[in-house]
Amino acid sequence: MRIVDRFLKYVFIWPSGCWIWSGSVQEYGYGHFYCGGKIINAHRWSYKKWVGDLLPGMIVHHTCENRSCVNPLHLEQITPREHNHMTQTWAGNKTHCINGHKLSGGNIYYKPNKNGDPWRTCRVCRRKDKMRHKTRLEEG
């Protein structure tokens, strides 16, 4: 079976225009599949196949904000700095963290990302992560 046919057998088209990847999905929702002897991200393969080569240091961004989408019309190359800004803008609209804690008042912690820009995080989750890390270090 040709690689394109194998790829497309895992794609379902939604009314929104998203091509939803139904194959194997990573922890954070990105599709991936085996190609050329290695595992690759499905959205990056789709971009390379139907749009063009990826420039060094660039990120493939989902303009639809759907991580499982592999529609090349919903993908664009952007710099990591642009991506961080877009992600922060999107994350800035969140009212609760992934664990359901309210993101307001004293529960917001701002830490600098790699570019020095402030990144909003949940203080409760951050504290729990630090405690888990400390426990692991003590247990050896």
Q: 71 and 43 share a domain?
A: yes
Q: 73 and 84 share a domain?
A: no
Amino acid at 9: K
pLDDT confidence tier of residue 114, bands split at 50, 70 and 90: low
Structural domain of 113: 80-140
Distance set, CA 59 to CA 10, 38, 76, 82 (Å): 23, 19, 8, 9
Residue 44 confidence (pLDDT): 94
Q: 2 and 47 share a domain?
A: yes
Average pLDDT over residues 66-81: 91
Residue 45 confidence (pLDDT): 95
Q: 74 and 128 share a domain?
A: no
Question: What is the model's pTM?
Answer: 0.63
Q: Is the pLDDT of residue 115 over 70?
A: no
The domain tally of the chain equals 2
